[in-house]
Amino acid sequence: MKLLRIFDANSKNNWTSASGRRTPETATILRTALLIGMTFVVLAPVIWFTLSSFKGLAELGGRPHLLPQSFSLDNYSQALKMYNYKQYFFNSVFVTTVATILTLIINSMAAYAFAKYNFRGRDGLFVLTLAMIMIPLQVILIPIYLVVAQLGMVNTYWGLIIPAAATPTGVFVIRQYMLTIPDELIESARIDGAGEFRIYARIVLPLARPALAVVAIFSILWRWNDFIWPLLVAQDEKFYTLPVALAQLNGRLAVPTNIIIAMSVMSIIPVLIMFVFMQRQIVQGISQTGMK
């Protein structure tokens, strides 16, 4: 927005300019055309895919048409009936919800300690927490699987939820926010005789709500879409989350494409709803922390 106004001012005040900079209209048209092109590249595949979910198997195997020749919801009803779709959906919802709550609790606890306490080893532990960003899951895929297997957490909800619940970015975002909460507030609560955990739960957490919201949104998005972690832990079909189920069913020749497409569309609906309602928080979260 700021830049816009400058270029605006620029075109009005350029009495010293020699060259013909009287072309803002062309620039605007070009820019808008480019952005419409971008919009097409982003939206067209998703729209095409969604329309495909209403096409029958025969039509999908024929010459491609934009609109379904025979609009039907069969794919959806079949997907719901076959292949345990409800189970996968439940698993995704359950894992996303519980994991996000757990992440919020343990991340905010650690963040509170890092932001508001002086204790020996604090800075070291904080740096250690941030250093966890340097070891992505993909790098330790095999040893982490072996650890989870040893702990008997393969094919359990706890295995899906706990290992990824502690996030360095979550601790960082909440800590930065908690630093702005005045110490006096906490001190006076202490003088009033409030216990340490009570202060955290009743005073600090409510005040840190904006930071918690950002972490919650990203945790939900990440857990809902996460593939590689549940792929390792959920070996049994009973524990498949939606992305794992989609990838595994897609790999089986016996599963028809129309079912996969219908399942995929259903799995992105919750995310698209979040996209519509939480845009501002998401943009803010991305630009402040570079997390995803």
Partner 1 sequence: MLIKKAGRRGSSVSWSRRLVPYLFVAPNLAIFLTFIIWPAIRGFWISFFDSNDGVHFKYVGNANFKEILHDPTISQVARNTITYVFFYVVLAITISIALALVVNEQKFAKGFFRAILFMPVMLSPVVVGLIWSDIVDRKHGPLNAAIKFLGGGAPGWLVDTNLGMVTVVFVGLWVHVGFYSIILLAGLQGIDRSVLEAASIDGASRMQTIRQIILPLLKPTTLVIIILATIHGFQSFDFIYTLTGGGPLGATTLIVQYIYERAFGVPIRYGLGSAAGVILFLVIFAFTALNFIAGRRRNAV
Span 44-103, contacts to partner 1 by CB under 8 A:
45-46, 48-49, 52, 60-64, 66
Ranges within 195-224 binding partner 1 (CB under 8 A): 195-196, 200, 221, 224
Distance CA(22)–CA(143), nearest Å, equals: 63
Residue 140 engages partner 1 in binding (rule: CB under 8 A): yes
- 129 contributes a contact to partner 1 by CB under 8 A: yes
Token readout for 134 is 């340097």
Site string for partner 1, 237-256 (x = CB under 8 A): -----xxx-xx--xx-----
User: Is 163 a binder of partner 1 (CB under 8 A)?
Assistant: yes
For partner 1, the binding residues in 256-275 under the rule CB under 8 A are 257, 260-261, 264, 267-268, 271-272, 274-275
Candidates 134, 182, 252, 253: give the one binding partner 1 (CB under 8 A).
Answer: 134
> What is the DSSP annotation of 64-84?
--SS-SS---HHHHHHHHSTT
**DSSP letters spanning 7-67:** HHHHHHS-TT--S----HHHHHHHHHHHHHHHHHHHHHHHHHHHHHTTS-HHHHTSS--SS
Residue 237 to residue 245: CA distance in whole angstroms:
8
Q: Does 125 bind partner 1 (CB under 8 A)?
A: yes
Q: Is 193 in the site for partner 1 (CB under 8 A)?
A: yes
Site stretch for partner 1 (CB under 8 A), options 73-81, 83-91, 207-215, 280-288 = 280-288
- 148 lines the binding site for partner 1 (CB under 8 A): yes
**Torsion, Cα of 107, 108, 112, 114 (10° steps):** 20
